[in-house]
Structure formats: structure tokens, C-alpha cells
Structure 1
Amino acid sequence: MPRQNLVVIMSDEHDPRVMGCAGHPVAQTPHLDALAARGTRFTQAYTPSPICVPARAAFATGLRVHQTRHWDNAMPYTGAPRGWGYVLQRHRVRVESIGKLHYRSDEDPAGFDLEHIPMHVVGGHGMVWASIRDPYVSSPNGKRMLGDRIGGGESHYTSYDRSVTERSVQWLQAAAQQPQQPFVLYVGLVAPHFPLIAPQAFFDLYPLDHLPTPKLHPADGYQRHPWVQDYAAFMDNEDQFESPEERLRAFAAYYGLCSFLDHNVGQILDALREAGLEDSTTVVYTSDHGDNLGTRGLWGKSTLYQESVRVPMILAGPGVAPAVCDTPVDLLDLFPTILEGTGIDPAPEMGERPGRSLFALAAGAPQPERVVFSEYHAAGSNTAGFMVRKGRWKFHYYVRHRPELFDLDDDPEELHDLAGDPAHSGVVQAMEAELRRICDPEAVDALAKADQAAMIERLGGQAVAATLGSGGATPVPTAALVPAVSV
């Protein structure tokens, strides 16, 4: 592929089903729908870990979480192992970021020539309190994760996303004046991540009496898996709503934030076109993980179910045919994709990386049996959880707990766990064998806990660690709340 430009837009906590192009019954996302219509939308895209920092470190490096050992939101990426940004720099491709990265610090060599208004973890250490596991501890400030207020209005996050979008538009306008210099621009938007406050015009798109009802609520008799119940008890968001009406506002706010996100993506794509860069630029849209959004009475991420562990993935640009691709993919596939999209042969750089270029996967024959993998070692879990998807089967392995098995062909909503059915014992064994070809789950669980314990000790022990880090959303950098400047 000849050298060209590439823009990666990564949102935060976007369930890929909440898009018009995915068939959602109420979601209004016209700009993402238009991007998907001119490109390839991957319907079975997954995150390497359903929580921010591990997912983003895996995205940066193209390596799995247990390979990089960025286990949780207190172990942010520092530039090691070196990722795709370093390869671009070595090949003299301009590479810059605007917005949320959730790495450690803008002083680290994370693979960007410049980081514009970056959002990184709190204090360079992140949510250390949530690294205390087995047993886990509760939030140090006792605040509700979803935010003090829920509904329509503005928050620091919506202000930040407006600043990120404005800076991105300016950046692309300036880049158009240097057509001889190829670039990769990473844009990190926060929406639809909580707090669940959506700008009023977008909140009003979703009347409270026209919202879908989430499935599998415990109040209706559903019993959570014990590992999932631990997470539910840890966050307890469902029981913290002030009223049934506020709970409905939470759904409307999430959908409104998805539409606000879509609006910002549209402004960036318009700037790309108006700058004359659309025909020479590949665009990737994705997210770091999804959101449970009330399913099973859960909010946020941190589970292995489809709502949490899947991500949107859209690839559009020169040479990308309009299509819908059902081959399973994940964020690790962006390592070779970004390199190939700028004309760099990814093969010499891959090493142990399991990813494959989305260009090849989009153009090739469907690969329904391709294995994808995710893992979780973070907040609200006493033991590790692992997910393997292969063909119609989706398998969850929880250390010290029984597994789960779902047939996504017959049961795409994961309503019926088949792991305890003797008729499916062979499938359970085969899927566990797939998992153990990737890693030893008990050994990885022990390694994660050892690394977390060592970090806690370095920081002064559990009493100190229990006070370190925000209890909810990462604060916005103050630099992002001032007017943007030229780039």
C-alpha cells in the first residue's frame, strides 16, 4: 500500500450496538453511520481487556495484557514495550495525539511527537486503591461512579470533548498545508464515558418513555454469576439511583452522549474532507471497551459479556470497500493496520504480536473461526476472568469459579449459559483448551496479583494505597479547558 495518512478516533465506553448502522432501535449516530457506509464495519470487534488502562496499553503495543503486564488502571503505559508510534517515528512519519490517552504522563516516550491536551491517569499512578484485590476494597471517596448528577447539561467531560474536537479540526487544517508530510493523528474522545450528563440538545433526542428495556435484571429473578456478583457488589450502581426516573435519565444520557460523540466525529470528518485530505487518509473509529448499560443490573464495563467486551470498529478510506465484515477482530489488530495504512510493512515489527491488518481481514474471505481473547484483572475482581471467542462459541473462564458458555448463533444476547449442560461438556473442554493455548489462567492470575502487591508495597502499603486515585472518572486536564491554540 502506498504511503498515506491515517486518523484513529477512539471513544471511551461505546457499546458498538448503540449506533444506527448496527440496527439500534433508538440511537441516532448519522456521522458514524455515514463513515460505516463508505467503509468496512467489523461487527465482531473486541477489546483485549474491558477496562481503560489495560485496553489502551494493549492498543498501543499490539500485545495482550498478560504480555505487557499493564493489569489495571494503576499500571499505565509509559512507552514500554514500544508500540506502533515508535515504529512510525523511526520511519519519520509525523505522529501526534489529541485528547484522552490514559497513559502515565506526557513526559514519557509513548510514541507521539506531540501530545495535545492529553488526559492521563491521576497523579501518574491512577486508581491504586482498586489494585487491592482478593479481597478488594471500596472506593476511597464513596462517591457514585456514574456521577453526582444524571441527565441533560454540561460536564467537564463534554467541555473536554469540545476542546479535543476543536483542536483536531485546527490540526487537520494545518496539516493540509504540508501535503508532502504523511501523518498519523490519534484523537481520544471521552464520550460516552460517565458521568452520565449529556448536552441538553442530545439528551432531548431520547424521550424517557421511548427507551429500550435492559435484559436480565435481578429484580426479575435473574441470578448473576458469582464472579459477576462480586463486581456488582463492588460498584452497586443500580441501587444508587435516586428514583426510577433518574434511572431512565441514565439511559437517555448514555444515548445522548453517543449522539454527542457522533456529532464530534462528524466535525472531525468534515474538517478532513474540507481540508482536501479525505482521499489520502484512512480513518479508523473504535473504542477502548463497551458498557453494560443496565444489563444484568450492571453499569460501566469490567465484565466479559458482549455489552462490555465488544467495541465498534470501522475502517474507511482509499481502497477500503464498503462492506460489513463478520470476522472477529480486536484492538490488537490496529498495530499492523496503522503501519500498513501509512505504507510501512508491518511484518518485520510483529514479533509475538497476534494482530492482523484490518485491510487484509476486510478484503479477505470471512474467517468465522478466528479466535479473539480478552482478560480482566482489575477493579471489583478477586480473581482473573478470561474470555475466548471462537466461531459460534463464547467462553468465560473465571479463576476459582465455574465457567460460562454461550452459543452466539442461537443466543446472541447471552441469555442462556450452557456451561453446566452435559450435552456441551465437550465444547467447554475444547474452549478451555483454546484458552490454555494462549495462557495458563491460574499462572497469569498469580502474576497479576504479585505485580499488584509489589506496586502497593512500593507505594507504602495497603493503608496508603487505599487512598490513592480517583473514585470514578479521571479528572480533565486543566489545559483542555482553555481556548485552543494553533498547531
Structure 2
Amino acid sequence: MKKRWIVFYVLVAGLANAAERPNVLFVAIDDLNDWIGCFDGHPQVQTPNLDKFNAEGGMVMYDAHCSSTVCGPSRSSLLTGKYPHNTGVYGNTTNLRNAPKTKDLLTLPQYFSTHGYHTLSSGKIFHKHPVPGDKGNAKGDEGQWAFDEWVPLKGGVGAISKDRPVNGLPALLSDKSYHAKGFDWGPTIGNDETKMKDYITAEWAAEQLNTREFEKPFFMAIGLSKPHLPWYVPQKYFDRYPLEDIELPKTIPDDLEDIKNKFGKPVKPHNTWVRVETAGRHKEAVQAYLATITFLDDCVGVLLDGLANSKYADNTIVMLWGDHGWHLGEKQKYGKTQLWQESCRVPMMVKVPGVTPDNKQCMGVVNLIDMYPTLIDLCGLPKNPENDGRSFAKLLQNPDMKWNTPTLSDYGYGGHRIYDGRYSYIVFTEQGTEELYDHKNDPMEWNNLINNPEYEAIKERLKALVPTEREPESPRNGK
């Protein structure tokens, strides 16, 4: 404990010689929920590399949540340090560089570059947006401008069939969303994971760590795209999860009946859930997601082994995170969005060499938006007054301390969730829906307590934290 105090003090106080500051490995994972072994996620999931990382000091932030449940606004939020309701960046079609409230902010990598770090990146960190005049979006804006060094993705292997969807899941005639064809899975051509983009990205990062002499401390941001749809991975990963043995998440048939809008009508099941339910293919969907997670875990293993075998291992902070959660049938839904637990809770793991303990789950309530101020503190950089988040550097040093200040997640204009570690209050002001859940007694959020008088005081306490001022939606791409 005394040793951790000393190391922590040095990191937080900063070092006189900037070159001695810790490096940062910032690892983004797209659409990964809590189905990881060391998060007590799905009981059958195979994630040996993430579990090994936890065993070697990669502390599990067990109660971590996102500031938005959609890729674009989640990443824009955590990278600028501002909540969506304070910027108007609510959807995937808004580029933060075009939003009046964010276009002049220093993003996290820019802040580190400004303060003496060499920043480099490959893979998905920022959400990709079209560039005016760029036919086919071949040279889209992927946040290249935010890094000193940026390497585009290479490689990739397609599915064994040219048909879409490969899985043959019938679409609803009324469904015009991305999921109509994008909700898909199947094996790739060949059976070689090393040709997949994420694997190549992980190998590139490992090579940088083992062959380069960095003259400055580095901030390396690596983005891994799986398990984002479609779930196309080599057959060997499907084989790891025999279909007949698949365990489905627990659900109840009338889950949405107690969530009423302002007209008194209950929320409807998600279109994709209806498709899967009608076709009776829930096990196949869960198998495909599990298979893709295990492929992702192999990529993480390549990356983390690369760091462990490098000379930078003992002076590099690792912050690994998923941009939001994902439903696999819970709340009669497949996918992200909305503000239920399965969408809001995210996998986050943090390793500060000499500080974070082995095999540890930290139960403190944190948010992805807190990563910006936390990394600033850990690396001894000046605080950024623009940050909305709260540094949890002290929690990393003392992971058993009480840390349950309520946290916020936004979804669209007027959608908010306040969560304090036990209770979650959800409101959609436009639709008129309200929800209240007690996670101690109802972890799957089956019982909406919003009209239960015994919980009135709890409801009012959390409701008082809901933002009352919201920025209008910022311009969308092409407008």
C-alpha cells in the first residue's frame, strides 16, 4: 500500500522532466458490452486475454457508464470532455468539428500533444464522417487532424457469401434502418484471423511499441471495431460456442408493459428483436456476438502482449474502454441506444503500473467522460476547465473508497439517465416516459417503480439532477 501511494503521488503531482511522464495506451472497443469474464458478463464468454490483463493490474471499473449510448456522440463527448446536452452533438450524423459548441475545443489527444506528448493513432477513435466533395466517403474525416501521427486501417476479409444478410434473417417491410441488412453474422472467407483489420491494427501497435524510440512520452490511441456489426469472423470462433449449448440472457415476456408514454401506451419491442423472435434465432445471434468478442479478445492479446514485451511496459498507463453497451435480447431489444443498463454500462479497465492492484473489480461509479480529466491528473498535466467530467485518479489508488456521485447518460435531445450505483432514473422529455429501477433488487430492470409511492423521495432526488438546459441539435452532415 505504501509503495502504491508513492507511485501514485509521483504520477499525479507530475514530474519536473516532461520526458519522464508516463505514456498512455488508449484502447477503444466498438459496441462491446459487459460480456467479459472478469466483468462477470455472459457465463460462457471466452476472453482469456482481457482476463489476464485484469490479473496483471488491469483493474475492472465494474460500474462504468457512457455519456451517450450511440457511437458518434459517445466518442465526441469523451474526447471533448463535454456532455451531449451541452454541445448539441446527439447523433452519428453530426461531426463535432461542425458543431458550434465543440469545433474549437481541444480534444483529448490534442490536449496531450499541446502539453508535450507525441500522439499517434490507428483504428476507430473518432466516429467517421463524410467530407464534402469526397465521392464515396473514401477519405472521410476520422479524426486524423487530432493526432501528430495517424495511420489508416489496412486489410480486411469479407463474409463467405455475397448475399446480404448472410444469415438469411428475414427483414420487416417497415424496417428501413441500418439493422435491416447490417444486423448480420457469418464466417469470413478462409479461417485466418491475422487478415482481419482489427488484428492488423493490433499488430501495428505492438510493432510501434517494440521497435520505436520515442523522443517524447507518447499517447497512443488504438481503435478496435469489433464486435460492431456485422459479426463476420473466422469460423473457428463460432466453433468455440456450440449452438446447442448457448445460454440466452434472462428475459420476461411483458418487460415493456410498465413503461408508458404521455399517451399511456407502452413502449414497443425493437424491430430487430421482433425479427429474431419471429424466426426463433436468438441462440444464433448470441453465438455470433460471443464469437466476435473472442476474436476481439485475441486482438487485445496481441496489443497487450506487445506492450508487455516492450521497454515501455512499466511506464505506460493503459485505459481500455467500450463506447457504450449492447442489448442481446434484454428489454426486447438488440443493439445500442436507449438508456437502460445494458446500453449504458460499459467495459472499462485501467492499469497504472505500480498503482492498480491485480485481480481487482472496483465498484466506484464512473463515466467515460471522466477519462479525460483522469488522464490529465495521472500524467501531471494542467487541468482543462472545459471538462464536464470528474477525475477518478484518487479512486484508482484506493479502489475500495466510496465513489457513488450520480452520473449522467444522454440519448438524443431530452433523453437522460441519472444513476447513483443503486438506482437509475430515466426520462425522455419529448415522449413523456419516466422509469425508476432499483438495481440491488432488480438488476435486469424488470420492475418500473416510477409510480410506486414508496420510492417518491428517491425519484425526486434523482430527477433534480436531470439537465434543464439543453443545446439544440447541431448541424448534421451536409446541412
- 8 Å Cα contact 1:28/1:259 also seen in 2: yes
* 1:405 counterpart (428, 433, 436): 436
- 8 Å Cα contact 1:68/1:81 also seen in 2: no
1:339 counterpart = 2:370: no
Kindly state the Cα deviation for residue 200 of structure 1 after the two structures are TM-superposed.
1.4
Residues matched between the structures, number: 416
* 1:166 corresponds to: 203
SS of the aligned residue for 1:403 comes to strand
* Unpaired segments ≥5 residues, structure 1: 120-136, 378-382, 460-487
* Unpaired segments ≥5 residues, structure 2: 1-10, 16-20, 98-102, 130-139, 155-173
1:83-114 superposed Cα distances (whole Å, 9 cap, x missing partner) = 22222111220011110131445486742112
* 1:311 corresponds to: 346
* 1:212 corresponds to: 247
Equivalents in 2 of 1:142, 1:311: separation in Å?
Answer: 22
Equivalents in 2 of 1:362, 1:87: separation in Å?
Answer: 22
- 8 Å Cα contact 1:49/1:375 also seen in 2: yes
Kindly state the Cα deviation for residue 5 of structure 1 after the two structures are TM-superposed.
0.9
- Tell me which amino acid in the other structure corresponds to 1:75: T
* 1:70 corresponds to: 89
- 8 Å Cα contact 2:248/2:286 also seen in 1: no
Equivalents in 1 of 2:388, 2:64: separation in Å?
Answer: 15
- Tell me which amino acid in the other structure corresponds to 1:260: F
Normalising by structure 2, we get a TM-score of 0.79
* 2:315 corresponds to: 280
Kindly state the Cα deviation for residue 139 of structure 1 after the two structures are TM-superposed.
3.3
Normalising by structure 1, we get a TM-score of 0.78
1:372 counterpart = 2:432: no
Kindly state the Cα deviation for residue 355 of structure 1 after the two structures are TM-superposed.
2.3
Equivalents in 1 of 2:410, 2:439: separation in Å?
Answer: 19
- 8 Å Cα contact 2:317/2:351 also seen in 1: yes
Kindly state the Cα deviation for residue 51 of structure 1 after the two structures are TM-superposed.
0.4
1:373-419 superposed Cα distances (whole Å, 9 cap, x missing partner) = 00101xxxxx6321001242111011142311111122222121111
* 1:324 corresponds to: 361
* 1:55 counterpart (50, 71, 74): 74
Equivalents in 2 of 1:256, 1:146: separation in Å?
Answer: 15
- 8 Å Cα contact 1:151/1:250 also seen in 2: no
- 8 Å Cα contact 1:198/1:254 also seen in 2: no
Larger mean CA deviation between 412-421 and 137-146 belongs to: 137-146
Q: What does 1:189-268 align with in structure 2 at a 5 Å threshold?
A: 189-218=224-253, 223=257, 225-226=259-260, 236-241=271-276, 244=279, 246-268=281-303
Equivalents in 1 of 2:464, 2:40: separation in Å?
Answer: 34
Equivalents in 2 of 1:13, 1:231: separation in Å?
Answer: 24
* 1:92 corresponds to: 116
Equivalents in 2 of 1:109, 1:198: separation in Å?
Answer: 27
Q: 1:230 to 1:319 in 2, by over 3 A?
A: farther
* 2:40 corresponds to: 23
Identity %: 27
SS of the aligned residue for 1:21 comes to helix
- 8 Å Cα contact 1:82/1:110 also seen in 2: no
Kindly state the Cα deviation for residue 173 of structure 1 after the two structures are TM-superposed.
2.4
Equivalents in 2 of 1:227, 1:13: separation in Å?
Answer: 28
Kindly state the Cα deviation for residue 368 of structure 1 after the two structures are TM-superposed.
4.1
* 1:389 corresponds to: 419
Equivalents in 2 of 1:388, 1:272: separation in Å?
Answer: 37
SS of the aligned residue for 2:86 comes to helix
Kindly state the Cα deviation for residue 230 of structure 1 after the two structures are TM-superposed.
9.2
Equivalents in 1 of 2:85, 2:104: separation in Å?
Answer: 14
* 2:54 counterpart (26, 36, 39): 36
- 8 Å Cα contact 1:13/1:287 also seen in 2: yes
- Tell me which amino acid in the other structure corresponds to 1:19: I
* 2:389 corresponds to: 355
- 8 Å Cα contact 2:39/2:60 also seen in 1: no
* 1:128 corresponds to: none
* 1:431 corresponds to: 462
Equivalents in 1 of 2:261, 2:47: separation in Å?
Answer: 34
- Tell me which amino acid in the other structure corresponds to 2:373: P
SS of the aligned residue for 1:95 comes to strand
- 8 Å Cα contact 2:227/2:293 also seen in 1: yes
1:449-487 superposed Cα distances (whole Å, 9 cap, x missing partner) = xx36x648x63xxxxxxxxxxxxxxxxxxxxxxxxxxxx
SS of the aligned residue for 2:78 comes to helix
SS of the aligned residue for 1:88 comes to helix
* 1:299 corresponds to: 334
SS of the aligned residue for 2:181 comes to coil
Q: What does 1:95-174 align with in structure 2 at a 5 Å threshold?
A: 95-101=119-125, 102-104=127-129, 105-106=140-141, 110-117=145-152, 139=176, 143-147=180-184, 150-153=185-188, 159-174=196-211
- Tell me which amino acid in the other structure corresponds to 1:47: C
**Aligned Cα RMSD in Å?**
2.9
SS of the aligned residue for 1:144 comes to helix
